[in-house]
């Protein structure tokens, strides 16, 4: 099973697991997906924005910066997609800090409607 942090690592190209024999088909597919996103973003960019987008993302064949920006922009929607049917199923106090921490009740979400931030930064070990 993959965690939210694992999904973030995969999207951003930081996943340590490289598949059987080092052949990671998922990584190749993600490169293609983000190439398509890059092509579409630069194709439909408003006048004057295209050079800045090309400068930011164009020199990286793996699109790591674009992937990082995409994750930052979409992580909340990914969290919702993962937890949409998990109402009342999560047992850890994820909202707040210390003695004020509470359980994330409705579909594993805090009242502030955010992703518990520490889920993004779980280190991977092999």
**What is the tens place of the pLDDT at every residue in 82-126?**
766 666 555 555 566 667 766 655 555 555 565 655 555 555 554
Average pLDDT over residues 47-72: 90
**Cβ-Cβ contacts under 8 Å for 106 (sequence gap 6 or more):** 87, 88
Rounded Cα–Cα distance for residues 120 and 7 (Å): 9
Task: Provide the residue range defining the domain that includes 1.
Answer: 1-83
Cα distance between residue 28 and residue 36, in whole Å: 13
Indicate whether 121 belongs to any domain: no
Report pTM. Answer: 0.66
| Together in a domain, 59 and 108 | no
Domain total for the chain?
2
Asked if 75 and 52 touch (Cβ cutoff 8 Å), the reply is no
Higher local confidence (pLDDT), 98 or 13: 13
**What confidence score (pLDDT) does residue 99 get?**
72
Number of neighbouring beta carbons within 10 Å of residue 53 = 14
Q: Using CA atoms, how far apart are residues 50 and 100, in angstroms rounded to an integer? A: 47
Query: Residue 125: its pLDDT value, please?
Result: 53
């Amino acid at each position: 099973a993959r965690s939210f942090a694992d999904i973030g690592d995969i999207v951003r190209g930081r996943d340590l697991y490289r598949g059987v024999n080092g052949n990671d088909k998922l990584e190749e597919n993600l490169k293609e997906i983000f190439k398509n996103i890059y092509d579409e973003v630069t194709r439909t960019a408003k006048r004057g924005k295209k050079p800045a987008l090309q400068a930011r993302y164009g020199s990286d064949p793996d699109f790591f910066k674009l992937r990082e920006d995409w994750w930052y922009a979409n992580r909340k929607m990914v969290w919702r997609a993962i937890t949409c049917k998990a109402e009342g199923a999560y047992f850890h106090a994820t909202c707040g800090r210390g003695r004020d921490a509470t359980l994330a009740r409705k579909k594993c979400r805090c009242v502030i409607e955010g992703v518990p931030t520490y889920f993004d930064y779980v280190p991977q070990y092999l």
